[in-house]
Amino acid sequence: MNNQLSLKSLILGGLLLLPALLVAQQKGTVANPYILNATDSTVIWGNYWSENEPVLKIKSGDYVKVHTLLTSNPERLEEAGVPLDEVEEELRQVQKVTERGPGGHVLNGPIYIEGAEPGDVLEVKIKSISLAIPYGYNAIGQNGFLSDEIFERKMRIIRLDTVKMIGHFSEGIEIPLYPFFGSMGVAPPKEAGRWNSAPPWVHGGNMDNKELTEGSSLFIPVFVKGALFEVGDGHAAQGNGEVDITAIETSLKGKLQFIVHKDKKLDWPMAETDTHIITMGFDRDLTEATHIALREMIKYLMEEKSMTREDAYMLCSIAVDMAITQLVDGNVGVHAMLPNNIFVGKK
């Protein structure tokens, strides 16, 4: 009899514990996010493409914790003065990847978001970003904005203070750090083929928008089933323009949440921070990129604030800042910044 009671108690106790166990094991929650580290089997080297095989499948609303790698190689970092034991083992491991290009960025992904279909909008909430290593680098590249005037090629290692959040550029020069992922995007339209990871476009990608820090949200139009999101190109700090073709390039860790919107329509990426609505434009021509960003802001004001086209245009001239995102990646970038605080008493 005691044995029967004991068995019954174990069964009932197990059943009572089962729901709690399932909750504890559920992946993709804020407390238990998916983990996507950079390995030779979880990165795409140098492209966004509709044919890339996803390395992770998630649902709308899920959280993913990522560890992305800087765009360089161990030998170059060591030659520039990084100690052997400070070069990430993950960076050594991804050198095994042989299928590369046409660009040079090491990107985690793709992540397949269930339910995302062409015509939808993918929101990427940037919940947290932290520095993964105590240094970054800046290097003058051959495709810098003044590459036909400044011919020297050099790399500078910049030590990062994760407590004070400053980068030590040189004696007497300290750079405030505001980490962000330079590249976040989805697969472009299928007809675009294997898209070089350098030029940003309608799919996002290498936008180099320094406003996309912790707490911001990025909205990207979806072009293929599952969206196929990729992320990388970590920056500790960057000036608008990124004129020598690099920022403070570094490895980052971050937590992202993915939400599929069926009721939104976008032609170009846009973003929202605590203080601003941001529309973006990318093109080989700086004037055309500016046209796109401005038109997208006018469209936002018409659709979200019920303004006429003419009134929206006037408001942009009074209150919206047009800023150069970057000048060096084939397609240049412009972003329009609308301050939220001008809308008094309105949501």
Burial class (CB in 10 A: 0-12, 13-18, 19+), 318: exposed
Phi, psi torsion values for 192, nearest 5 degrees: -75, -15
Strands 217-221 and 155-161: unpaired
Tokens of 306: 């019920």
Instruction: Taking each helix axis as running N to C, give the angle between helix 309-319 and helix 286-304, from 0 to 180 degrees, rounded to the nearest 10.
Output: 120
DSSP state of 52: P
Whole-number pLDDT of residue 345:
77
For residue 69, count other CB atoms closer than 10 A to its CB: 27
Are the C-beta atoms of residues 121 and 220 closer than 8 Å to each other? yes
Strand-by-strand arrangement of the 155-161 sheet: 135-139, 155-161, 166-170, 173-176
Phi, psi torsion values for 200, nearest 5 degrees: -70, 160
- pLDDT in 10s for each residue of the chain, 347 residues: 455 545 455 444 554 444 544 445 689 999 999 999 999 999 999 999 999 999 999 999 999 999 999 999 999 999 999 999 999 999 999 999 999 999 999 999 999 999 999 999 999 999 999 999 999 999 998 899 999 999 999 999 999 999 999 999 999 999 999 999 999 999 999 999 999 999 999 999 999 999 999 999 999 999 999 999 999 999 999 999 999 999 999 999 999 999 999 999 999 999 999 999 999 999 999 999 999 999 999 999 999 999 999 999 999 999 999 999 999 999 999 999 999 999 997 55
Full-model pTM: 0.91
d(CA 188, CA 198): 13
